[in-house]
Amino acid sequence: MVEKLFHWASGYAEFAVHGDAARFFTVCAKRGFDFWDFSRSEGVATARCRVQEYRLLLPTVRRCRVCLHCRKKSGLPFIMSRMARRKGLLLGTVFGILLFAFLNSFIWSVQVEGTERLSEQQVLAAARASGVAIGTAKRAVQPKLTDHRIMELLPQAKWVSVNTHGCTVDILLGEKEEAPLQEMETGYSNIVASQAGVVRAIEAHQGRPEVVIGQTVDAGDLLISGLYQDVSDPYGPQPEEPLQVAGPARGSVVAETYREFAVQVPAKRTRNVPTGQRRAFSTLRIFSLNLPLGFGWQTERPGTQYTETTQLHLLGQDLPVYLEKRTTVFTKQVTVSLSAEEQRSAAILKLREAQRAWVAPGGKILREDLQFSFSDGICILTAQCHCLEEIGVNREILVK
């Protein structure tokens, strides 16, 4: 095998001998010529020799009065000679090799395994923020450093392993088990009312309720006590020392509360109205190279800008090629006059925003009385609302 490879690399010629082949081969052997692959077919002998020796056989051919016929020339020197005459083919081969080496130096696939509660997109986003994504240079990927960065960005991950093979990166991870929420058992606290209202529901998980359903309370009143003395059964034996309970109060108190809101809406309002003109600018991003596909993106005219990014695909495989289209919709500021009905609608929207901001989370409006009034073109909306919401807040007790 090695001998055949050497003959191919140095080039060889296969020839046929017409005449006294035995005498010709004997004379060549005495003169030091090296032949191989002897064969004979229909009275014609064939053999192979090195390219450099073929031209030196002419004196021997004349002496032995034989005729040589070159049947085949093969080997690397002949291939290179043909390619030298076809420069386009040679340049294409060199360019293809360089292109393959260039493309092989980037990451073409990122695979994620081991996700349960985390989504694959979350892991890919964390990997992208850590410097690992399709189109990243392989020399820039440091698996050990990437492991720690992804774990910092994903607190739910228990362990992360980043492995590279070829142009693919495998991200293996294990997720932490959700630990049950534990309430703080140290310290002392009470639950008091954040505002006045009528108690509609009370639930004490820890501590003693100090109010009953239907009772009216004011802001600051004690609702659930974390420090109290246990009341013994008046018909049973009385303990020498009453049981003292001290700890954090835990529970919920829902009450019907009363709130008043007032919002104002002017008769005129400034708006940004589209002018109907827009400008689009596209960029082709290949790996980390941005190629602008136009001119004149920068503009100082007011407008709304948005970007649309499209990743190219080939045969179901994501390519590190992105087409970004940035569009600016030009606007102008105009002052518009609102009708009375438009002012009322705007006032109601503003009222709902105020209610969401002030009513406790999970609360709702039971009933409301809305009153509209106009003064100097300003719409004033006054709302008297009865709400059902959580009023209990935890207040810590400091004990020396």
**Gap between the Cα atoms of 352 and 344, Å rounded:** 12
Closest among 226, 200, 185 to 394, alpha carbons compared: 226
pLDDT (tens digit per residue) in 211-240: 999 999 999 999 998 877 776 666 667 666
- Cite the DSSP H helix spans in the chain: 2-10, 21-30, 51-54, 58-64, 76-85, 87-103, 120-129, 143-153, 340-358
Closest among 292, 294, 297, 289 to 321, alpha carbons compared: 289
When pLDDT is cut at 50, 70 and 90, the band that residue 345 belongs to is: very high
Q: What is the pLDDT of residue 208?
A: 87
Domain segments of the chain as ranges:
2-80, 109-175, 262-268+337-389, 272-335
The string of DSSP codes covering 55-121 is GGGHHHHHHHT-EEEEEEEESHHHHHHHHHH-HHHHHHHHHHHHHHHHHTTB--EEEEE--SSS-HH
CB hemisphere CA count around 251 (13 angstroms): 27
Q: What is the pairing mode between strands 109-113 and 168-175?
A: parallel
Query: For residue 239, what are the contacts with CB-CB under 8 A and spacing of at least 6?
Result: 232
When pLDDT is cut at 50, 70 and 90, the band that residue 400 belongs to is: low
CB hemisphere CA count around 267 (13 angstroms): 8
Lowest mean pLDDT among 249-253, 319-323, 379-383: 319-323
pLDDT (tens digit per residue) in 120-161: 889 988 988 888 888 888 888 888 898 889 989 988 888 999
When pLDDT is cut at 50, 70 and 90, the band that residue 253 belongs to is: very high
CATH for 109-175? 3.10.20.310
pLDDT (tens digit per residue) in 41-79: 888 899 999 888 888 888 888 888 888 888 888 888 888
Q: What are the distances in angstroms from CA 54 to CA 61, 75, 82, 355?
A: 11, 14, 20, 102
Work out the percent of the chain whose per-residue pLDDT is above 90. Answer: 23
Closest among 204, 178, 194, 214 to 360, alpha carbons compared: 194
Q: What is the pLDDT of residue 221?
A: 92
Residue 116 or residue 296, greater confidence: 116
Beta bridge partners, 42, equal none
Averaged pLDDT for residues 90-106: 86
CATH for 2-80? 3.30.70.260
pLDDT (tens digit per residue) in 163-209: 988 888 999 998 887 655 445 455 788 899 999 999 999 998 888 89
Mean predicted lDDT score pLDDT of the chain: 85
369: left (phi over 0), alpha (psi -120 to 50) or beta: beta
**Gap between the Cα atoms of 201 and 219, Å rounded:** 17
Residue 30 or residue 230, greater confidence: 30
Q: What is the pLDDT of residue 397?
A: 80
Work out the percent of the chain whose per-residue pLDDT is above 70. Answer: 92
Tell me the residue type at 136: T
Q: What is the pLDDT of residue 181?
A: 47
pLDDT (tens digit per residue) in 348-375: 999 999 999 999 888 999 999 999 999 8
Q: What is the pLDDT of residue 243?
A: 61
- Cite the DSSP H helix spans in 169-323: none
Q: What is the pLDDT of residue 309?
A: 85
Closest among 189, 197, 252, 199 to 225, alpha carbons compared: 189
**Gap between the Cα atoms of 121 and 99, Å rounded:** 31
Q: What is the pairing mode between strands 188-193 and 222-225?
A: antiparallel
Beta sheet of 109-113, edge-to-edge order: 109-113, 168-175, 157-165
Q: What is the pLDDT of residue 299?
A: 64
**Gap between the Cα atoms of 65 and 55, Å rounded:** 16
Q: Which of 23-37, 141-155, 182-196, 249-263 has the highest mean pLDDT?
A: 249-263
Q: What is the pLDDT of residue 298?
A: 62
Q: Check if the beta carbon of residue 42 is closer than 8 Å to that of residue 18.
A: no
Q: Is the pLDDT of residue 275 over 70?
A: yes
When pLDDT is cut at 50, 70 and 90, the band that residue 20 belongs to is: confident
Q: What is the pLDDT of residue 233?
A: 64
Q: What is the pLDDT of residue 6?
A: 86
pLDDT (tens digit per residue) in 297-342: 566 777 888 888 888 887 777 778 888 888 888 888 888 888 899 9
Q: Is the pLDDT of residue 87 over 80?
A: no
The helix/strand/coil state of 388 is strand
Residue with tokens 């006294």: 20
Closest among 392, 388, 385, 386 to 363, alpha carbons compared: 388
CB atoms within 10 A of CB 132: 23
